[in-house]
Amino acid sequence: MSGGSGGVVDIPGGITLAYAKLGAGPPLVLLHGGEADHTQYDGFLPHLAPHLTCLPYSQRDCGATRNPDADFGVLDLADDAAAFIRALGLRRAHVFGSSLGSVIAQALAVRHPDVVDRLVLSAAIRIGESIPAINPDAAAELGRLRSDPAANAPRIARYFYTEGHLAKHPELAQRFAGGKRGPAQQARRNALIPGAPRLPLGGIAAPTLVLAQAEDRLVPAAHTLGIAAEIPGARTVLLQGLGHVGTIEAPARVAAAILPFLLEGTA
């Protein structure tokens, strides 16, 4: 990503988080999905950076982040997010979480409400629920396909992007071919969503926007939008024609959907 900065920051637990920084304005921390690292947002940040200081970081067992070879869960990752915000010298930040990142963001808003300004949950999974529970057919098929990710990467990718987008960008399938993490790292990542506790969302005080993609084959839009009913005052947006990873498929559209909410009340 050109024109940005970032680097690494140490947080408690012997963890060194790799992050990027781009833009100017109120801080926005971005939490990536389960298959990714913070580079998931490389094409998204330029659409936000004229208005916000964008701060994506790589979670444990992802990208250039370094952490002990020990078990962790979603609550630990939420605590990491709060520690990241504080380590950068920030009092509060807006938070954007996509897919697994949305689960971490929910835990962050519940456990550390003091650091969350405004909250955006995209392609969101309700914390305490899992893909087999909300989309059993997709979970079963993905389980079969992931027995040989290198061979089945194009078919796995169909659960994350629309057919039309994959036809134009077949290289995206390689993100699902495996090999980026060791077996222990992958096992820890795979256990995060199934192992997350069902936290109550009714106490989330941060103004919240819930964003769903109508063509999401992994997390049904109705499930994502249903999360808003549990969060007082939450708003919803449904983007037509997009799959699960809207920030890659149509970054300008996603940015246009969230910027008015994130900038509300600013001069």
User: What residue numbers bound the domain in which 193 lies?
Assistant: 5-130+182-262
Amino acid making up residue 45: L
- CATH number of the domain where residue 93 is located: 3.40.50.1820
Spatial contact of 101 and 31, defined as CB atoms under 8 Å apart: yes
Q: Is the pLDDT of residue 202 over 90?
A: yes
Closest residue by Cα to residue 205 from 126, 92, 128, 67: 92
pLDDT tens digits, residue range 205-263? 999 999 999 999 999 999 999 999 999 999 999 999 999 999 999 999 999 999 999 99
pLDDT band at 2 (very low <50, low <70, confident <90, very high): very low
Q: From the DSSP assignment, how many helices (H) and strands (E) are in the chain?
A: 12, 8
Number of independent structural domains in the chain: 1
Percent above pLDDT 90 for the chain: 94
Q: Find the helix packing angle between 74-87 and 100-111, rounded to 10°.
A: 70
Domain for residue 37, yes or no? yes
Domain for residue 58, yes or no? yes
Segments of the chain assigned E as strands = 5-11, 15-23, 27-31, 53-56, 93-98, 116-122, 208-213, 235-239
**DSSP class of 155:** H
pLDDT tens digits, residue range 82-139? 999 999 999 999 999 999 999 999 999 999 999 999 999 999 999 999 999 999 999 9
Domain for residue 66, yes or no? yes
Q: Is the pLDDT of residue 1 over 80?
A: no
Bridge partner residues of 210 (DSSP): 121, 236
User: What pLDDT, on the 0 to 100 scale, is given for residue 35?
Assistant: 87
User: What pLDDT, on the 0 to 100 scale, is given for residue 80?
Assistant: 98
Region of poorest pLDDT, from 29-33, 113-117, 158-162, 263-267: 263-267
What is the value of pTM for the model shown? 0.96
Domain for residue 118, yes or no? yes
Q: How far apart (Å, rounded) are the C-alpha atoms in residues 10 and 5? A: 16
Spatial contact of 21 and 5, defined as CB atoms under 8 Å apart: yes
SS3 106: helix
Contacts (Cβ under 8 Å, ≥6 apart) of 238: 212, 213, 214, 221, 225
pLDDT band at 3 (very low <50, low <70, confident <90, very high): low
Largest CA distance in the chain: 52
User: What pLDDT, on the 0 to 100 scale, is given for residue 267?
Assistant: 58
Domain for residue 244, yes or no? yes
